[in-house]
Chain A
Amino acid sequence: MSQAEDIESVDQDGVIESVSGPVVTATDLDARMNDVVYVGDEGLMGEVIEIEGNLTTIQVYEETSGVGPGEPVENTGEPLSVDLGPGVLDAIYDGVQRPLDVLEEKMGTAFLDRGVDAPGIDFETEWEFTPTVDVGDTVEAGDIVGEVPETESITHKVMVPPDYEGGEIESIENGAFTVDEVVAELSSGEEITMHQEWPVRQARPADTKETPTVPLVSGQRILDGLFPIAKGGTAAIPGPFGSGKTVTQHQLAKWADADIVVYVGCGERGNEMTEVIEDFPELEDPKTGKPLMSRTCLIANTSNMPVAARESCIYTGITIAEYFRDMGYDVALMADSTSRWAEAMREISSRLEEMPGEEGYPAYLAASLSEFYERAGKFQNINDTEGSVTAIGAVSPPGGDFSEPVTQNTLRIVKTFWALDADLAERRHFPSINWNESYSLYRQQLDPWFRDNVADDWPEVRQWAVDVLDEEDELQEIVQLVGKDALPEDQQLTLEVARYLREAWLQQNAFHDVDTYCDPKKTYRMLLAIKTFNDEAFDALEAGVPVEEITDVDASPRLNRMNTSDEWNEFIDELESELEEQIRSLY
């Protein structure tokens, strides 16, 4: 149930039997699985997770210190749901969709108190509703009946809830309404408001899932250039601590060309969420020029917030994402980190004394992960619009060991793998995505888009870069043994070209004003410049010029400056002609 529900109407039934951390058992509670209950005198929010005879087990979303046996448990009779409607964007929620700014106000302190409820969307605000259908039109479940300008950049579509029958519109009004005022009435007797509720553990219905063919352009060279992800795709970013998972996720949230971004901070640092809260309203969406926050919904469950709410925050996030997908938007969901989510499952599971699977994780870990990632995809919605949810999950493997259960089970599902590498991070090669280990299974299906929208020979040029990097990887093994100078000259030159690929192209400075976002056209152009250097250099080598002389030309170090150049087209044109001229003058 959502917090918006009237609490008076619930029956008082159960009694607490025992308390152990976030797990509480109650007797005499008449409840269904996953019903939301209020626990104890303070009315802490919880969810039913096990029923055994007369004994009901509840996970509590708030701290349980001081709660004791004998206190009452009230059942709301409804599963954990989110409030959907205008006001979800530009908001910051905890794991059970309580707005953190409202909580601060209600609690009157900077610390999170207990037993305070707040609805996910504001019920007082009036929104300007404009119908898009007329009286007499027939609408079905999911159909769009009107629009609301929710934020500067996003128009909220008001839809017939998916569980409605639908029918002929009997009345529909234009004007300012609060979210629970009726805006339209149907012949079936159903009334439509701007507010919907949806249980978080259940996927919102869609017609068909389609093969995604458009990339989610991220403005990150290594991602767009080598390992692209599709709109509606899935990706995992595993890496040990300090390897830049969060910065990569932030970069994606900032620059990805999705319409809506849902950012789930799951069990991560408080200061990181604060950074997002402070930064996003100031940053501009590169596509619309509007503040980034106006297309973003943040869900923050920091590592010290109650563990059960960490388990639910992922579901809260994906449900909100699906809601906007239903409106026909492309939504990107970032979850940082899915390992914390898995650990929350493990913690609850061990308190339930369930038989543990691998490394103490519950046996249903793999099922839960795949269920989550399957909710992503490009969909034909039930109202005939097309929308997508792209799911990008960070994974924090203990000790950076990718063979652990969460990484392995995630890799079996996702189609893009961005492997972060502590070694690269240590030498401040950022983003520290390892180009030898990472992969994207979307390359083939996205190639036509890149050919049409960036450059005809994009796949070929990319393959050239991959080949050079592969060759470097092999050559490095020899270099480790005999030193670089013992290699034949052409191989020395390959190493030099690969160095430029790594330093000038793959590296990208997230904190530099220009470099932080790289248009795919610039990504391609930069790569082409390095290829020009490569081609000219090999021609010179064939003509008998010693390799040192080629690599020492004045222009070549300027390849490293392409990334920060604002007027990149001119800069690179000029650089290329200088390279040509200087290398050709050697023979």
Chain B
Amino acid sequence: MKEYQTITEISGPLVFAEVDEPVGYDEIVEIETDDGRTLRGQVLESSDGLVSIQVFEGTGGIDRNASVRFLGETMKMPVTEDLLGRVLDGSGEPIDGGPEIVPESREDIVGEAINPFSREYPEEFIQTGVSGIDGMNTLVRGQKLPIFSGSGLPHNELALQIARQATVPEEEEAGDDEEGSEFAVIFGAMGITQEEANEFMDDFERTGALERSVVFMNLADDPAVERTVTPRLALTTAEYLAFEKDYHVLVILTDITNYCEALREIGAAREEVPGRRGYPGYMYTDLAQLYERAGRIEGKDGSVTQIPILTMPGDDDTHPIPDLTGYITEGQIVMDRNLNSQGVEPPVNVLPSLSRLMDDGIGEGLTREDHGDVSDQMYAAYAEGEDLRDLVNIVGREALSDRDNKFLDFADRFETEFVQQGYDNNRSIEETLELGWDLLSDLPKEALNRIDEDLIEEHYREDEAETAEVEA
């Protein structure tokens, strides 16, 4: 290990140093300042004689006399099953006052890509107990399903509700004696406020979830550059627990927007050619390296399921962060400001939401035979109702036909009864689908063109349609 006192330039989060021996790309660096602090960083660019180093803790306090040590290895995360129940800071050091972590192995935090040939296609339904998700945008094990939210929307409540309620119904029936895999939650916080962090911690403690969780905390006042490592530490831990220790791991990453801001900061400091809105051109690749670390592997019992949370600047889903995310993840759950102000809990707008893996995770033997058709029909009916609302604003309800009025009523009930459920209400998939039929039965039978005729016979509630008609 060689030590240098050759810093030539300090700029933003970057330090440039001269070296006389070659240094590897991505290698870890320790910088010791005059006042005895040790800061950690990573090699961003290595050329003969000069390296640029990104310092995680920020470059404050570094001067040209500081000494630079190259550790000769890339960044590693010490992993062990004992991490469960622990709270770590954004660079993986314990901050809960607990004992030192004795690692079982040390894993490279830049995970290698999973060979697509070795993956197992995710198709195990996860029941989150939230109708807007289970019924309309089903989550499956090994999926990456982000929550697209906005500032001031209750995305944290929804994420917590999912973490609390998520189960796989079949395994629950099988009972505890079955040698099923255990469930673990990894929480990676990037640049969230102390208050938000407390909200999560309190909930974890209250429900006892903490003992099966690993928490990584990079708070709003922690160094921004550290945010680029936090999710990688979290995912390395998740992969270890899932693929070495057979856990079913749910990873919640919040807030991806802060992560991207940190990327932009580094890019700007390196004077890179910026891409859209100043974000680096490689942001797609970089985000993919996070999101793609979810899934199942053939022959392994565990799985990594990811729920990243991002706040869309200006609620704009064409902003580069949600846009690139949507191209990588397997769908998205979109939170809606209007629904939120109407008091719908959780305010999930199902129309722009999507789960790409839904079709393979539902249906006979997985959830219920009618699930796909019911969800398609509700989508179509709700979309039609939404369209009609615009029209009502212009011509008034009286000008609309009977059929149209029924679709309007459907859209209202869909929001206030189906999506609306409260954060402590855990609905089984049966309950969700029955509620769906309850709503659909208000529509005329012939309008249900997305549902198989046999299924309509089996589930459609004639009496309700009639009463609805009589009332009308």
Interface residues of A (CB under 8 A from B): 16-21, 25, 63-71, 92, 100-101, 103-104, 107, 110-114, 240-242, 265, 267, 269-271, 273-275, 277-278, 300, 302-305, 307, 340, 343, 346-347, 350, 353, 356, 359-360, 396, 398-401, 422, 425-429, 479-486, 503, 511, 557, 560-561, 564
Are A304 and B48 in touch, CB under 8 angstroms?
no
Asked, given contacts A65-B25, A399-B318, whether A17 binds B48 with beta carbons under 8 Å apart, the answer is yes
Asked, given contacts A69-B22, A269-B328, A353-B273, whether A110 binds B114 with beta carbons under 8 Å apart, the answer is yes
Q: 3 tightest A-B contacts by CB?
A: A399-B318, A18-B47, A303-B288
Are B390 and A112 in touch, CB under 8 angstroms?
no
Tell me the bound Cα distance from A75 to B318 in angstroms: 44
- Nearest-neighbour CB distance to chain A for B293, whole angstroms, equals 7
Selected from A103, A104, A350, A398, the residue in CB contact (under 8 A) with B272 is: A350
Residue in chain A with minimal CB distance to B118: A110
**Stretch among B82-90, B150-158, B319-327 lining the A interface:** B319-327
Tell me the bound Cα distance from A399 to B327 in angstroms: 10
Tell me the bound Cα distance from A156 to B190 in angstroms: 54
Across-interface contacts of B307 in A (CB, < 8 A): none
Flag whether B60 is at the interface (Cβ < 8 A): no
Further pairs besides A271-B119, A426-B352: 5, Cβ < 8 Å: A110-B115, A112-B112, A277-B116, A303-B328, A428-B383
Flag whether B469 is at the interface (Cβ < 8 A): no
Tell me the bound Cα distance from A149 to B294 in angstroms: 39
Tell me the bound Cα distance from A185 to B256 in angstroms: 62
Asked, given contacts A274-B121, A304-B289, A343-B281, whether A511 binds B372 with beta carbons under 8 Å apart, the answer is yes
Tell me the bound Cα distance from A305 to B288 in angstroms: 9
Are A112 and B446 in touch, CB under 8 angstroms?
no
Asked, given contacts A307-B285, A343-B281, whether A557 binds B24 with beta carbons under 8 Å apart, the answer is no
Selected from A68, A270, A302, A511, the residue in CB contact (under 8 A) with B359 is: A511
Flag whether B297 is at the interface (Cβ < 8 A): yes
Classify chain B: how many residues form its interface, as a range.
35 or more
What does the 1/0 interface line of B38-78 toward A look like (CB < 8 Å)? 00000011111000000000000000000000000110000
**Stretch among B391-399, B407-415, B419-427, B428-436 lining the A interface:** B391-399
Tell me the bound Cα distance from A557 to B453 in angstroms: 11
Are A483 and B285 in touch, CB under 8 angstroms?
no
- Nearest-neighbour CB distance to chain B for A560, whole angstroms, equals 4
Tell me the bound Cα distance from A66 to B318 in angstroms: 36
What does the 1/0 interface line of B290-302 toward A look like (CB < 8 Å)? 0111010111100
Tell me the bound Cα distance from A480 to B299 in angstroms: 55
Selected from A64, A68, A350, A422, the residue in CB contact (under 8 A) with B273 is: A350
Tell me the bound Cα distance from A438 to B275 in angstroms: 29
Across-interface contacts of B24 in A (CB, < 8 A): 19, 65-68
Across-interface contacts of A426 in B (CB, < 8 A): 351-352, 379, 383
Flag whether B380 is at the interface (Cβ < 8 A): yes
Across-interface contacts of B352 in A (CB, < 8 A): 242, 422, 426
Are A485 and B399 in touch, CB under 8 angstroms?
yes
Selected from A63, A69, A274, A481, the residue in CB contact (under 8 A) with B116 is: A274
Question: Which residues 325-352 of B sit at the A interface, judged by CB distance below 8 A?
Answer: 326-328, 330-332, 351-352
Are B332 and A302 in touch, CB under 8 angstroms?
no
- Nearest-neighbour CB distance to chain A for B117, whole angstroms, equals 4
- Nearest-neighbour CB distance to chain A for B60, whole angstroms, equals 26
Are A19 and B25 in touch, CB under 8 angstroms?
yes
Are A111 and B323 in touch, CB under 8 angstroms?
no
Asked, given contacts A112-B114, A396-B327, A480-B391, whether A65 binds B121 with beta carbons under 8 Å apart, the answer is no
Across-interface contacts of B327 in A (CB, < 8 A): 241, 396
Selected from A240, A340, A398, A429, the residue in CB contact (under 8 A) with B320 is: A398
